[in-house]
């Protein structure tokens, strides 16, 4: 037998049956048959996590819904995966087949145990991106630096996170701007030495590029060693006197008058240098020193000062005493006065006959180094001071 029941409300029922014969006699009731009516669609599921940009081609959507319901993952109206809502009312559902790169609007729909199909959830935007970004480019760093956290710049995929690496050690990160430009510094200062640094770019989906070409960075925070220096011995008539010395090759030498820079030079590959004032110095006494600055910009201590005396003024012309009458001495003694300490040179025209040094009173006497032949001579003298300045000639003295 079969029977069609009237419309029943949702709920649980225990139905029994009895038989009534033609005479109206009724049988005992049957054993109860329990069944439930559920004609109500499940409430639309709520997606609580998932979405966004990912490199996972089978991205998971997480949500809540009616326990025991079947979750259908939809790409538009196309089912692409299923799961079951757990007893705790939560579910995780992913595509059965990996999705191609691109943008998707995914939703979920619940079907309860009675076969009622709920409304689809609000769509969730998902972007699949499994392609790694191009390797970033690091700009070259010129020469050594004394900055232990140097700024490195370059270009990468716009919006990607750039990671600066020393080998496999992460030194720092930065985000490339909308033009792709970035700049970053090591989070921890680098020790002195040479480094071959690279960078990688990680896009919003988590894809990591290959490493950039390495950039060499030399860190040098040590000041150059103290230079050795020597200057002119005694006074000089050179108003731009040269100081010579040794120091770190490639360093810049700064010549100092006190604390004032007055000239520069570069230490040669052999470690030696010569430096002079750029502008001539006035006559006087100076205490000159040198200071080295290496290629990284580290400044060394100044050297011990070197005393330099500039004297560009010629001494007064000496005076030769007159010689009375002819003499039979072919190496006659000539006397006179000159600036004290100067070297007096006796001249026959331009020929040097002899020299002597004026004493502290200025007096001198000298004789020709080579005997003079018979005849009359108009002899003169000049004075040369310690700086090398030469006076004009004295008035001539006749010697016969």
Give residue 24's pLDDT: 82
- DSSP secondary structure letters along 135-167: PPEEPP--S-BS-SS--EEEE-STTPEEEEEET
Arithmetic mean of pLDDT over the chain = 94
- 20 pLDDT above the threshold of 90: no
Of 37-41, 64-68, 135-139, 256-260, the range with the lowest mean pLDDT is 37-41
Tell me 8's DSSP state: -
- 48 pLDDT above the threshold of 90: yes
> Per-residue confidence at 41, pLDDT binned at 50, 70, 90?
confident
Query: Is beta strand 351-357 parallel, antiparallel or unpaired with respect to 343-348?
Result: antiparallel
Q: What is the mean pLDDT of residues 135-147?
A: 95
CA distances from 130 to 75, 99, 170, 210 (A): 19, 10, 24, 14
Q: In order of start, what are the domains of the chain with their CATH numbers?
A: 11-130 (2.60.40.10), 137-219 (2.60.40.10), 228-310 (2.60.40.10), 319-399 (2.60.40.10)
Give residue 91's pLDDT: 97
Residue for token pair 């003169």: 380
> Per-residue confidence at 248, pLDDT binned at 50, 70, 90?
very high
Residue for token pair 């496999």: 168
**Of the candidates 196, 193, 137, 135, which has an alpha carbon nearest to the alpha carbon of residue 165?**
196
Contacts 24+ apart (CB under 8 A), 324-328: 325/400, 326/400, 327/399, 327/400
- To the nearest 10°, report the CA torsion of 123, 128, 134, 136: 50
Using CA atoms, how far apart are residues 14 and 16, in angstroms rounded to an integer? 7
> Per-residue confidence at 14, pLDDT binned at 50, 70, 90?
confident
Give residue 3's pLDDT: 74
Of 41-50, 182-191, 366-375, the range with the lowest mean pLDDT is 41-50
- 98 pLDDT above the threshold of 90: yes
- 145 pLDDT above the threshold of 80: yes
Tell me 78's DSSP state: E
- 205 pLDDT above the threshold of 80: yes
Give residue 37's pLDDT: 64
The answer for residues whose C-beta is within 8 angstroms of residue 234's C-beta and 6 or more apart is: 309, 386, 387
> Per-residue confidence at 38, pLDDT binned at 50, 70, 90?
low
Using CA atoms, how far apart are residues 391 and 111, in angstroms rounded to an integer? 120
Residue for token pair 């200025």: 362
> Per-residue confidence at 267, pLDDT binned at 50, 70, 90?
very high
Give residue 330's pLDDT: 95
Structure tokens of 19? Answer: 């038989």
Q: What is the mean pLDDT of residues 239-257?
A: 96
Structure tokens of 270? Answer: 């052999």
The answer to whether 267 and 273 have CB atoms below 8 angstroms apart is yes
Tens digit of each residue's pLDDT (9 = 90 or more) over 358-383: 999 999 999 999 999 999 999 999 99
Using CA atoms, how far apart are residues 261 and 391, in angstroms rounded to an integer? 33
Using CA atoms, how far apart are residues 140 and 181, in angstroms rounded to an integer? 14
The answer to whether 65 and 84 have CB atoms below 8 angstroms apart is no
- DSSP secondary structure letters along 211-259: PPPPEEEEE--SPPPPPEEE--SS-BS-SS--EEEE--TTPEEEEEETT
The answer to whether 218 and 263 have CB atoms below 8 angstroms apart is no
More confident residue, 93 or 45: 93
Q: In sequence order, what are the beta bridge partners of 381?
A: 346
Using CA atoms, how far apart are residues 21 and 322, in angstroms rounded to an integer? 183
**Sign, CA torsion 56/61/62/66:** negative
Using CA atoms, how far apart are residues 281 and 397, in angstroms rounded to an integer? 38
Give residue 377's pLDDT: 96
Q: What is the mean pLDDT of residues 133-162?
A: 96
- 305 pLDDT above the threshold of 80: yes
Tell me 117's DSSP state: B
Predicted TM-score of the model (pTM): 0.67
Angle at 158 between CA 154 and CA 164, to 5 degrees: 40
């Amino acid at each position: 037998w079969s029977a069609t029941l009237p419309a029943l409300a949702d709920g649980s029922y225990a139905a029994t049956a009895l038989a009534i014969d033609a005479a109206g006699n009724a049988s005992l009731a049957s054993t109860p048959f329990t069944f439930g009516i559920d004609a109500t669609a499940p409430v639309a599921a709520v997606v609580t996590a998932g979405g966004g940009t990912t490199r996972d081609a089978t991205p998971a959507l997480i949500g809540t819904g009616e326990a025991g319901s079947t979750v259908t993952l939809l790409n538009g109206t196309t089912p692409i995966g299923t799961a079951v809502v757990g007893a705790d009312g939560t579910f995780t559902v992913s595509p059965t087949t990996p999705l191609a790169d691109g943008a998707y609007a995914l939703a979920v729909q619940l079907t309860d145990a009675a076969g009622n199909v709920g409304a689809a959830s609000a769509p969730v935007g998902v972007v699949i991106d499994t392609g790694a970004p191009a390797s970033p480019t690091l700009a070259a760093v010129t020469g050594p630096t004394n900055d232990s956290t140097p700024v490195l710049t370059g270009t990468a995929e716009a919006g990607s996170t750039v990671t600066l690496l020393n080998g496999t050690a992460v030194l720092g990160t930065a985000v490339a701007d909308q033009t792709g430009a970035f700049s970053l510094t090591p989070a921890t200062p680098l020790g002195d030495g040479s480094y071959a640094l690279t960078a990688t770019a990680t896009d919003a989906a988590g894809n990591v590029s290959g490493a950039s070409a390495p950039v060499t960075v030399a860190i040098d925070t040590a000041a150059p060693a103290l230079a050795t220096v020597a200057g002119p011995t005694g006074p000089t008539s050179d108003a731009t006197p040269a100081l010579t010395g040794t120091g770190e090759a490639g360093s810049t030498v700064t010549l100092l008058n006190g604390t004032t820079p007055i000239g520069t030079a570069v230490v040669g590959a052999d470690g030696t240098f010569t430096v002079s004032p750029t502008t001539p110095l006035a006559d006087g006494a100076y205490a000159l020193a040198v200071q080295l600055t290496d290629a990284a910009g580290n400044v060394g201590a100044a050297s011990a000062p070197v005393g330099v005396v500039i004297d560009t003024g010629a001494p007064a012309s000496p005076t030769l005493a007159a010689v009375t009458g002819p003499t039979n001495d072919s190496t006659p003694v000539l006397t006179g006065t000159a600036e004290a300490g100067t070297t007096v040179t006796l001249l026959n025209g331009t020929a040097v006959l002899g020299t002597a040094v004026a004493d502290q009173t200025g007096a001198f006497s000298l004789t020709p180094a080579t005997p003079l032949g018979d005849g009359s001579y108009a002899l003169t003298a000049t004075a040369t001071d310690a700086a090398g300045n030469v006076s004009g000639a004295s008035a001539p003295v006749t010697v016969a």
